[in-house]
Structure 1
């Protein structure tokens, strides 16, 4: 069976999806919080994080990357949020690739809006609708090196682009800014050069990252390895595990593995972690019965949920969280299962706590 590589990518590669002989490459949409955790539980040889969400949707959490690394899964990052996370976690073993990663790691770049852009949905291959600042920087640097523009124009254009909100950044806007520049010769030269001289740094880094990851995996055994980083299972991570599992379809193998992770870990070593472990254990215990949730238990859960929704406006609440009715129903059923078995699970976790404390 071929080694598996999970890749989170969107606008940085567009419609292109390279294949590699001897590897199963699982291309997934841009990552949000919990996606990398679910991928890691599925057991790939490596994870490549390129594109992800980080404004209107919760971003990939550092802890899910650290957990994957601790389990011996190589995690690579480049281009977009992958470059940001790799710069933040390179000392823990995440592997960053490309010029954008290097700029963030060195401190040359600091703002996450450097890589931000607006793009279309999966149906149009995440077509970019704006230009990320890192691409504009690389293009202007290339134009400067090629003698197309001088440093004064390059710096002026960079500063104007930085001042614009990221959805409004584009090369079209750049050319409109040049129309008012005093040096008409340079402005005309840059406009003529741009169509063939534009650099897509995010794409170049994404391709380089995939090449690095696949080359590492295809090396003979023993030539590269990943050691444990001493991962600490916190209550916040337990909640992330639980929420990720609840958002997956019932019966999903990944959801089942996440539930086992939540109930089978070091969380019992401290009472601070008990709530996350107890909830996960409750869900695992109740699923083991394979029976339906009693109408009364489900009704109580639904009633409690409705009381928590601001103004009782369930439609708006669901829309802001991108949930459909089927997904909400599954989550409520999972919560009802947790509630029904919480007492038994709490007793189980307490036994684990005492056992662990005696050992240590």
Structure 2
């Protein structure tokens, strides 16, 4: 059994030991990448809010679905535990209980500015949840009355968390009518008090984590478009980048993608519908098998066309194809593994078996090198700043389709829309316009004319003084 702990300023002096692996404050992506086994335990104390994207709830749910027990306390751990208590996350400590019971509700109650890990996460502001507790004790000792304490908490709560400090308490106290000497006594008490609810709850979680035994696996969360994307990016980032470029660049990608989808549908029919027989090994017979499967599962009648067809098939295709061809095209273009989620995992599995796979993995370096040459030649060149309509025009030209059919052409390549394809197209635009290797790049066969020198390809850059927008619109 493995135990992991994400912690920072709440317990800065803790170190990894034999029974717990200590990680920095958690951020988006960290839990997806965590290689847990059934029965492992994960503690979340600190996490980033602004410096990086905060850890999403779906990552925690996914972690529990993979068999880990997840505990939370003190800071973002307490927040997430209160929000996910009904789903199996285990909260520890008083701060968690206050969030769960709505005594506290603002996320920034537990937030603070702090230094780096090398600096020991030195606090640069005071979390409001600790100031509240100190003011309660100050009131008990007669350093301020409860009404003044409430006013101070209200004023601190209205200001950015990075500005909260004992000096601000003095300022607010004086503004509330407390005389200067009493306000400074209150400030000194807050500055020297050892009350620290976050630290106390963090220590409690460490104790719970050390005693934790294997828990039960939670139900898998709904696999949303975002969770699906995070999982793919965490586990297949290099392959996914290469696949995206092939979706845009490979002239034979529609046939490769269509074959993979139709084959999956035919195989699903054989196992799910018990249709018997074997799945056709090549292209012949796959459309018929896939179309029969659609009728078996009730997507349309045995002799019907699925509708509405206008979203998935052009008028020209309708005029020149039989029913099997039309339905097969609809099945490929509309194929989703779950609502809104395209078949990237299916395509990655097929991608690895293709003759052009090894060369495809080198596309990212090739494209990056050409984009860097573009920046050296013209500093204002930035692929991400290219106008979408310009990119879409280029895609229509490269894919040899009418602009009105771009969404359908994107569906043929496994993209949900032309706009989704444009995200990758921006990155490869310059390389595809300048590099002859990419002009007729194919994924279903090996590309024999790739340069073997290992050097960046020679590209024809525009003359000095020509604007990036004007030249890029011509396709360099």
- CA deviation vs aligned residue, 1:49-70 (integer Å, no higher than 9, x gap): 1111122422111111111111
Instruction: Please say if residues 12 and 203 of structure 1, whose CA atoms lie closer than 8 Å, have aligned partners that are also in contact.
Output: yes
Q: Distance in 2 between matches of 1:287 and 1:97?
A: 50
The alpha-carbon distance between structure 1 residues 55 and 275, as it changes in their structure 2 partners (threshold 3 A), is: farther
Which of 58, 62, 65 is the aligned partner of 2:60? 65
Q: Which residue of 2 aligns with 1:272?
A: 340
Q: Distance in 2 between matches of 1:38 and 1:170?
A: 36
Which of 33, 44, 48 is the aligned partner of 1:49? 44
Shift of 1:71: 2.0
Q: Distance in 2 between matches of 1:18 and 1:75?
A: 18
Q: Distance in 2 between matches of 1:121 and 1:44?
A: 32
Q: Which residue of 2 aligns with 1:91?
A: 86
Q: Which residue of 2 aligns with 1:216?
A: 212
Secondary structure, counterpart of 2:340 in structure 1: helix
The alpha-carbon distance between structure 1 residues 308 and 102, as it changes in their structure 2 partners (threshold 3 A), is: farther
The alpha-carbon distance between structure 1 residues 282 and 145, as it changes in their structure 2 partners (threshold 3 A), is: farther
Q: Which residue of 2 aligns with 1:131?
A: 126
Whichever structure has more helix as a proportion of its residues is: 1
Q: How many residues align?
A: 291
Which of 194, 197, 206 is the aligned partner of 2:193? 197
The alpha-carbon distance between structure 1 residues 234 and 311, as it changes in their structure 2 partners (threshold 3 A), is: closer
The alpha-carbon distance between structure 1 residues 207 and 112, as it changes in their structure 2 partners (threshold 3 A), is: same
Instruction: Please say if residues 5 and 20 of structure 2, whose CA atoms lie closer than 8 Å, have aligned partners that are also in contact.
Output: yes
Instruction: Please say if residues 130 and 170 of structure 1, whose CA atoms lie closer than 8 Å, have aligned partners that are also in contact.
Output: yes
Length-normalised TM-score, structure 2? 0.53
Instruction: Please say if residues 39 and 67 of structure 2, whose CA atoms lie closer than 8 Å, have aligned partners that are also in contact.
Output: no
- CA deviation vs aligned residue, 1:216-258 (integer Å, no higher than 9, x gap): 23xxxxxx63243243323321101122235699xxxxxxxxx
The alpha-carbon distance between structure 1 residues 98 and 111, as it changes in their structure 2 partners (threshold 3 A), is: same
Q: Distance in 2 between matches of 1:162 and 1:91?
A: 28
Q: Which residue of 2 aligns with 1:236?
A: 226
Shift of 1:88: 0.8
The alpha-carbon distance between structure 1 residues 193 and 270, as it changes in their structure 2 partners (threshold 3 A), is: closer
Instruction: Please say if residues 356 and 444 of structure 2, whose CA atoms lie closer than 8 Å, have aligned partners that are also in contact.
Output: no
Alignment of 1:305-316 (within 5 A): 308-310=383-385
Shift of 1:280: 4.9
Q: Distance in 2 between matches of 1:74 and 1:50?
A: 14
Length-normalised TM-score, structure 1? 0.69
Q: Distance in 2 between matches of 1:309 and 1:121?
A: 31
Q: Which residue of 2 aligns with 1:12?
A: 10
For the pair 1:76 / 2:63, whether they are aligned, the reply is: no
Q: Which residue of 1 aligns with 2:251?
A: none
Alignment of 1:158-197 (within 5 A): 158-184=153-179, 186-197=182-193
Point out the structure with max Rg over C-alpha.
2
Q: Distance in 2 between matches of 1:43 and 1:268?
A: 29
The alpha-carbon distance between structure 1 residues 5 and 111, as it changes in their structure 2 partners (threshold 3 A), is: same
Q: Distance in 1 between matches of 2:202 and 2:234?
A: 27
The alpha-carbon distance between structure 1 residues 288 and 149, as it changes in their structure 2 partners (threshold 3 A), is: farther
The alpha-carbon distance between structure 1 residues 197 and 269, as it changes in their structure 2 partners (threshold 3 A), is: same
Q: Distance in 1 between matches of 2:147 and 2:442?
A: 68
Q: Distance in 2 between matches of 1:42 and 1:227?
A: 10
Does 1 or 2 have the higher relative contact order (CA < 8 Å, sep 6+)? 1
Instruction: Please say if residues 166 and 191 of structure 2, whose CA atoms lie closer than 8 Å, have aligned partners that are also in contact.
Output: no
The alpha-carbon distance between structure 1 residues 276 and 290, as it changes in their structure 2 partners (threshold 3 A), is: closer
Alignment of 1:316-331 (within 5 A): none
Q: Distance in 1 between matches of 2:15 and 2:369?
A: 43
Gaps of 5+ in 2: 240-334, 373-380, 388-426, 428-437, 446-476
Instruction: Please say if residues 238 and 361 of structure 2, whose CA atoms lie closer than 8 Å, have aligned partners that are also in contact.
Output: no
- CA deviation vs aligned residue, 1:140-176 (integer Å, no higher than 9, x gap): 1222234432101211211111121111111122123
Which of 107, 113, 125 is the aligned partner of 2:108? 113
Aligned-pair Cα RMSD in Å: 3.8
Q: Distance in 1 between matches of 2:361 and 2:233?
A: 22
